[in-house]
């Protein structure tokens, strides 16, 4: 502990970045683990509610490494889980951010800024994460279907990889946004220059 205290005294800005980064990563991975668990059963839950159908946008046919699929920013093909998988992925991302936002705001960044503006900015960042991740899953899931014939193994691998990649994408996008919206002075009028 003495080393850490000395480091913090000599390099206060670096120590603060290490603290923030460490807490951000720890909270993000805890939330990612929760999302992974939810993604294991939510597609089947939603399939029981909405049934099996697909809705893709913009629905562009592509082939990569001999695997044909439809590229979409929103939605999934029926072969890759359809609307049930889309709803499950959306639910895990937004539920995860409902846990992540207060932890990052109150513990990691210790922010007392304008909650409404921070929520809106964080929400927009979360939508960006969802769109990027949906684009990833519409490519990743058809490839795993082509490569892995065992349904249980494939579903587990899809859930784990999707969750880990979502966590990584979310950490990059959300950290950049959070570092801005939770900064001291965010949302306050700038002092007029004299």
Range of the domain at 74: 10-181
Output the tens digit of pLDDT for each of the chain's 194 residues. Answer: 677 778 778 888 888 888 888 888 888 888 888 888 898 899 999 999 999 898 899 999 999 989 988 889 998 888 878 999 889 988 998 898 899 899 999 999 999 999 999 999 999 999 998 898 888 888 888 888 888 899 889 888 887 887 788 778 877 898 899 999 999 888 777 764 34
Could you tell me if residue 192 is inside a domain? Answer: no
Could you tell me if residue 193 is inside a domain? Answer: no
Residue 189 phi/psi, 5° resolution?
Answer: -65, 140
Residue partners of 91: CB distance under 8 A and separation at least 6: 38, 42, 46
Of the candidates 74, 84, 62, the one whose C-alpha atom is nearest the C-alpha of residue 143 is 62
Give the pTM: 0.78
Of the candidates 68, 67, 50, 51, the one whose C-alpha atom is nearest the C-alpha of residue 59 is 68
**175 vs 25: CA distance, rounded Å:** 9
Number of domains in the chain: 1
């Amino acid at each position: 502990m003495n080393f850490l205290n000395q480091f913090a005294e000599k390099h206060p800005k670096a120590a603060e970045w290490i603290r923030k980064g460490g807490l951000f990563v720890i909270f993000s991975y805890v939330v990612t683990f929760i999302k992974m668990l939810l993604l294991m059963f939510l597609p089947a839950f939603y399939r029981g509610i909405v049934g099996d159908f697909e809705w893709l946008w913009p629905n562009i046919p592509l082939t990569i490494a001999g695997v044909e699929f439809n590229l979409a920013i929103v939605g999934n093909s029926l072969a890759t889980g359809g609307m049930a998988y889309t709803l499950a992925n959306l639910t895990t991302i937004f539920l995860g951010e409902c846990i992540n936002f207060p932890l990052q705001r109150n513990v990691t960044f210790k922010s007392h800024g304008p909650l409404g503006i921070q929520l809106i900015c964080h929400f927009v960042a979360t939508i960006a994460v969802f769109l990027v991740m949906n684009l990833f899953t519409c490519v990743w899931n058809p490839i795993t279907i082509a490569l892995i014939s065992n349904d249980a193994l494939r579903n587990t691998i899809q859930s784990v990889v999707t969750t880990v990649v979502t966590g990584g994408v979310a950490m990059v996008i959300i950290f950049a946004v959070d570092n801005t919206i939770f900064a001291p002075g965010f949302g306050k009028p700038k002092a007029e220059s004299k």
